[in-house]
Every structure is written in structure tokens, then in C-alpha cells.
């Protein structure tokens, strides 16, 4: 299954632009968040995705304009970070299983599979 990837361009304090890859979206306590990876290699290959995730992950809150036309990515409040990191880690662990299991049936045979289904 090919998914279209979302990229967001940010500008640092020195005016340099850099791009982050949105690897997941999630809702938490009435707010929408994104998990972004620093994927500076620029490639689209699956093997680099794991390397990119190791380079640096960021959690940003998504704020939508009143007219619903634009989205802004802003850092979440410091006091929320521990909870958000826990939610993000759980989400990424669920997404790490590549076994393609459905309806509680797992064919991967991997005991470290975090997909939540029963290993057969």
C-alpha cells in the first residue's frame, strides 16, 4: 500500500528553511498533533525511513485558522510533552508491525510484534 507522504517546510531562527516528513497524525485531548521526522536525506526509499526516524522526531500541535484554510504547526506546551511522547511512542509501536494482520490474526510469527493481535 503506497501512502502519499506529507512534508512541512519550517524556517529556523537564522532564516534557513528545512523540511520535516509527517509520519503520523493523532488527536489527544481535543487537539490534533503530528509526529514529524527529520528526513534530510531526501530519498523516498523504505530503508531510509528507519534511519530518518532515528535522526530526530518532533511532536507539533496543529492549529487551524478560523476560516479552516491554513494549518500552523506549533510546539506543544512543555507540561504536555511527557504525555504526548507516551501517546506518540504507543502509536509508532502499533505502526511498526509490517505483518499485514487483520481481525486479530497475525501471521508474522514475530514475538516482538506490537500489532496487538495474537501470534499464530
**Pick from 84, 82, 72, 76: nearest CA to 60:** 76
What distance in Å separates the CA atoms of residue 86 and residue 91, rounded to the nearest whole number?
9
**This model's pTM is above 0.85:** no
DSSP-H helix ranges across 1-120: 46-55, 81-95
For 20, other C-beta atoms within 10 Å of its C-beta total: 23
pLDDT exceeds cutoff 70 at 100: no
Reported as a single tens digit per residue, the pLDDT across 15-55 is 999 899 999 999 999 999 999 998 765 555 454 545 454 46
Q: Report yes or no on 88 lying in a domain.
A: yes
Instruction: List CB contacts of 20: < 8 A, sequence separation 6 or more.
Output: 7, 8, 10, 36, 37, 38, 39, 58
Our count of domains for the chain comes to: 1
Question: Is the model more confident about 5 or about 33?
Answer: 33
Q: Domain span at residue 30?
A: 6-119
Q: Report yes or no on 1 lying in a domain.
A: no
Amino acid at each position: 500500500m503506497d501512502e502519499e507522504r506529507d512534508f512541512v517546510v519550517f524556517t529556523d531562527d537564522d532564516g534557513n528553511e528545512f523540511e520535516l516528513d509527517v509520519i503520523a497524525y493523532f488527536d489527544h485531548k481535543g487537539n490534533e498533533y503530528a509526529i514529524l521526522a527529520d528526513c534530510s536525506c531526501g530519498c523516498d526509499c523504505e530503508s531510509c525511513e528507519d534511519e530518518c526516524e532515528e535522526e530526530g522526531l518532533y511532536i507539533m500541535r496543529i492549529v487551524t485558522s478560523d476560516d479552516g484554510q491554513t494549518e500552523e504547526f506549533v510546539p506543544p506546551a512543555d507540561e504536555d510533552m511527557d504525555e504526548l511522547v507516551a501517546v506518540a511512542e504507543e502509536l509508532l509501536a502499533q505502526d511498526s508491525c509490517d505483518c499485514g494482520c487483520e481481525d486479530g490474526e497475525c501471521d508474522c510469527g514475530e514475538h516482538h510484534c506490537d500489532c496487538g493481535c495474537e501470534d499464530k
